[in-house]
Amino acid sequence: MNKLLQVNCPQCDKVFSYYKSEFRPFCCERCKMIDLGHWFEESYRVPTKEKNQTDQNNGNKQNESQNDDEDQYSEQDVDLYEDDENNY
């Protein structure tokens, strides 16, 4: 059974037989390469929200808590080091 599915090329909008094209979902190699060029040039982007002030403040709080953990870890290291000195 030969499937005849007619679709539009996403690059040039030409109608072609989907299952007969070796460059699916594009109609030809040219359209495929144009699309690849757009990817290499980073023309396609996912939209993102800009960070607002609240997000930045939350980020600062997270950084402060990480710094507190690092300080606590450093104090523990010092205590362990002092205990080792007392044993020698």
- Cα–Cα distance for residue pair 18/24, rounded to 1 Å: 7
Q: Residue 47 corresponds to which tokens in the numbers above? A: 């939209």
Residues 6+ apart with CB under 8 A from 28: 9, 21
CATH number at residue 24: 3.30.50.10
Q: Is 1 within a domain?
A: no
Helix (H, G, I), strand (E, B) or coil at 19: helix
Based on the fold, state whether residues 55 and 76 are members of the same structural domain. yes
Start-end of H helices in the chain: 29-40, 53-87
- Looking at residues 29-48, what average pLDDT do you find? 90
Based on the fold, state whether residues 55 and 77 are members of the same structural domain. yes
Amino acid (1-letter code) at residue 11: Q
pLDDT of residue 46: 81
Based on the fold, state whether residues 29 and 64 are members of the same structural domain. no
Element at 10 (helix H, strand E): none
Among the residue ranges 3-12, 22-31, 52-61, 65-74, the one predicted with the least confidence is 65-74
Q: Which domain holds residue 26?
A: 6-40
pLDDT of residue 44: 83
How many structural domains is the chain composed of?
2
Based on the fold, state whether residues 62 and 86 are members of the same structural domain. yes
